[in-house]
């Protein structure tokens, strides 16, 4: 096989090149490496995010809660069909209306009321029993549903977190050396604050983020490796595509785009490439089946028009959206806030500035080294991030801030972050003055975002107190620690994980 675009080192690398592992010449490898603690710290930091909001806090949680609890028709203790209306379901008390605080940012989650009665008695017509979303996510998560709603929600959030950490860690372990930096650094510079909040929720967007972000880079690794490692990456690619396509209609298309990007980057006029291409082609077909099997497949023709006033001039809508789409991009980095309404929240200016500065600063290093395939895919992806929401909004006579939210495009932003950090061969290099400020800014942004999120639900944003326990109106019953402990420990653990990744990146560059 001739030399690949990224160098033959990818196919001959061994376990010694695993994520930022250092082996000095003439010396035995160290028995303990700090990088091994990074997944543990990420897991614990995201767990803090899981406790940083109440049941019903993530966008459209009433819909997703009902869909999970009613996904298994055999669980009549959780959900039964309304005999008077086939479109409705009767749920256990507390699921519908759990988001009583949504419409008022100054209202805490203390308005929620829970009962011990396990009998299904609350009616809802708002759920996935009409097939709007792909069924896989809801069917899987229904295994963790129970009559104890609050405990079950925490379990589901922790399951989503565990899936994310395991899959990203597997990428770090099995990817060829030249793809480790695009994968790990690409994640780090794109998931704060929206990504960490979404991954730690029960929203199917958690699987969209994880699935799309894993599948595209694992597919590229599949092309660039041989033997057992390549088959592990094939498994990660398949699992990522199934997660994304089985969770959201739009992420099925994103998964196909990711597979296309990987296939284009790896293109070679050789038989081995043609054989390996069968995997992404098959997975793209599976993703298309999920797409056309969901109720939201008609968005491509009709857009999203929920709550839009009648009589809007289509050209005026188009002109407004044309100059406003970048507002969706900045929303990924904090300008829209978190939660249902994406309301303004304390410190969002700092979070937005910090996260955008890191993304632009680190990606600018990648822009300095462009080659044809990378340039073509980067330009195509940026255009997709602009044209796709522009089209969906305009066709539905919606404007930016209506219907399409930053979380919808987040998976593609993650792909873009990794794509810009690709090199033809070897790991991407960065200096101390790139890495250290990025560590500080991301750690600060995560800490501010988590604090604001906690404050939003503990008391509402009308309370101006530094102490999170001051005037507390809501907290998890039975949790032995308070919100301040959750916040401080989560912020420290996240900072430690980012510091380890950044430090290992720098050390690895010096040793090679």
Question: What pLDDT does residue 249 have?
Answer: 93
Give the other-Cβ count within 10 Å of 429's Cβ: 16
Cα-Cα-Cα-Cα dihedral sign, residues 429, 261, 207, 385: positive
Largest CA distance in the chain: 78
Q: Can you tell me the distance from the alpha carbon of 412 to that of 244, in angstroms, rounded to the nearest whole number? A: 12
Residue 81: beta bridge partners? 89
Q: Are 446 and 49 in contact (CB under 8 A)?
A: no
31-38 long-range contacts, CB within 8 A, separation 24+: 33/504, 34/500, 34/503, 34/504, 35/500, 35/501, 35/504, 37/496, 37/500, 38/497, 38/500, 38/501, 38/504
Question: What pLDDT does residue 15 have?
Answer: 41
Q: Which residue has the tokens 């994880």?
A: 210
Residue 298 host element (H or E): none
Helices and strands of the chain, counted as H and E runs: 20, 3
Question: What pLDDT does residue 140 have?
Answer: 98
Judged on CB neighbours under 10 Å (0-12, 13-18, 19+), 66 is buried
The helix/strand/coil state of 80 is strand
Judged on CB neighbours under 10 Å (0-12, 13-18, 19+), 214 is buried
Q: Are 310 and 396 in contact (CB under 8 A)?
A: no
Q: What are the CA-CA distances from residue 242 to residues 134, 203, 249, 286 (Å)?
A: 10, 16, 12, 8
Structural tokens at position 16: 């010694």
In sequence order, the 6+-apart residues with CB closer than 8 A to the CB of 266 are 4, 5, 220, 223, 224, 273, 276
Q: Can you tell me the distance from the alpha carbon of 173 to that of 493, in angstroms, rounded to the nearest whole number? A: 21
Opening angle at CA 32, ends 27 and 38, nearest 5: 130
* Rounded (10°) angle between helices 483-511 and 177-188: 150
Question: What pLDDT does residue 13 have?
Answer: 43
Structural tokens at position 133: 């979303």
Structural tokens at position 476: 């998890």
Structural tokens at position 23: 């082996």
Residue 170 host element (H or E): helix 149-174
DSSP string, 20-66: T----TTSPPPS--GGGGHHHHHHHHHHHHHTSS-TT-STTHHHHHH
Q: Whole-model pTM?
A: 0.92
Q: What are the CA-CA distances from residue 322 to residues 75, 310, 326, 398, 461 (Å)?
A: 48, 20, 9, 12, 33
Of 125, 48, 115, whose CA–CA distance to 492 is shortest?
Answer: 48
Following CA atoms 280, 283, 288, 289 in sequence, which dihedral angle do they give, to the nearest 10 degrees? 160
Q: Are 414 and 186 in contact (CB under 8 A)?
A: yes
3-state secondary structure 205-219: HHHHHHHHHHHHHHH
Q: Can you tell me the distance from the alpha carbon of 182 to that of 421, in angstroms, rounded to the nearest whole number? A: 5
Per-residue pLDDT of the chain (512 residues; tens, 9 = 90+): 443 444 334 444 444 344 444 344 444 455 668 889 999 999 999 999 999 999 999 888 989 999 999 999 899 889 988 887 777 788 877 776 677 898 888 999 999 887 777 778 788 878 898 888 999 999 999 999 998 999 999 999 999 999 999 999 999 999 998 999 999 999 999 999 999 999 999 999 999 999 999 999 999 999 999 999 999 999 999 999 999 999 999 999 999 999 999 999 999 999 999 999 999 999 999 999 999 988 787 776 666 766 677 778 889 999 999 999 999 999 999 998 888 866 667 788 899 999 999 999 999 999 988 999 999 999 999 999 999 999 999 988 889 988 889 999 999 999 999 999 998 876 667 888 889 999 999 999 999 999 999 999 999 988 888 899 988 999 999 999 999 999 999 999 999 999 999 988 887 666 55
Q: Can you tell me the distance from the alpha carbon of 445 to that of 427, in angstroms, rounded to the nearest whole number? A: 27
Give the other-Cβ count within 10 Å of 158's Cβ: 17
């Amino acid at each position: 096989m001739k030399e690949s675009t990224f160098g033959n080192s990818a196919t001959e690398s061994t376990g010694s090149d695993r994520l930022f592992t250092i082996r000095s010449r003439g010396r035995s490898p160290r028995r303990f490496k700090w990088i091994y603690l990074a997944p543990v710290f990420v897991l614990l930091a995201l767990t803090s995010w899981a406790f940083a909001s109440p049941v019903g806090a993530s966008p459209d949680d009433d819909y997703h809660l009902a869909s999970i609890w009613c996904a298994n028709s055999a669980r009549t203790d959780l959900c039964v069909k309304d005999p008077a209306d086939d479109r409705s379901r009767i749920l256990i008390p507390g699921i519908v209306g759990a988001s009583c605080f949504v419409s008022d940012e100054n209202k805490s989650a203390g308005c929620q009321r829970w009962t011990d009665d396990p009998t299904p008695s609350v009616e809802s017509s708002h759920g996935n029993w009409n097939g709007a979303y792909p069924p896989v996510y809801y069917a899987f998560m229904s295994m963790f549903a129970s009559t104890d709603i609050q405990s079950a929600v925490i379990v589901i959030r922790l399951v989503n977190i565990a899936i994310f950490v395991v899959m990203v860690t597997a990428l770090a372990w099995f990817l060829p050396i030249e793809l480790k930096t695009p994968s790990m650094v690409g994640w780090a510079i794109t998931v704060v604050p929206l990504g960490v909040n979404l991954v730690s929720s029960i929203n199917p967007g958690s699987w969209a983020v994880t699935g799309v972000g894993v599948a595209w880079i694992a597919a590229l690794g599949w092309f660039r490796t041989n033997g057992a490692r390549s088959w592990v990456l094939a498994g990660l690619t398949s699992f990522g595509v199934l997660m994304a396509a089985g969770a959201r209609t739009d992420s099925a298309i994103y998964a196909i785009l990711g597979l296309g990007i990987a296939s284009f980057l790896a293109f070679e006029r050789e038989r081995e490439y043609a054989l390996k291409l069968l995997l992404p082609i098959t997975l793209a077909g599976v993703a298309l089946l999920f797409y056309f099997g969901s109720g939201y497949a008609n968005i491509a023709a009709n857009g999203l028009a929920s709550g839009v006033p009648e009589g809007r001039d289509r050209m005026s809508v188009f002109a407004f959206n044309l100059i406003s789409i970048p507002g969706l991009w900045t929303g990924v980095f904090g300008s829209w806030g978190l939660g249902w309404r994406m309301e303004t929240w304390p410190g969002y200016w700092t979070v937005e500035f910090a996260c955008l500065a890191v993304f632009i600063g680190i990606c600018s290093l990648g822009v300095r080294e462009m080659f044809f395939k990378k340039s073509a895919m980067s330009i195509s992806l940026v255009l997709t991030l602009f044209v796709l929401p522009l089209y969906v909004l305009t066709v539905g006579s919606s404007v930016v801030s209506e219907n399409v939210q930053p979380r919808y495009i987040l998976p593609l932003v993650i792909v873009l972050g990794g794509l810009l950090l690709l090199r033809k061969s070897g790991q991407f290099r960065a200096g101390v003055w790139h890495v250290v400020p990025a560590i500080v800014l991301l750690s600060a942004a995560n800490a501010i975002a988590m604090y604001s999120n906690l404050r939003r639900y503990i008391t509402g944003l009308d309370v101006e107190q530094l102490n999170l326990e001051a005037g507390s109106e809501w907290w998890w019953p039975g949790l032995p620690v308070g919100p301040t402990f959750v916040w401080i420990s989560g912020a420290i653990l996240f900072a430690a994980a980012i510091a380890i990744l950044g430090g290992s990146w720098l050390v690895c560059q010096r040793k090679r």
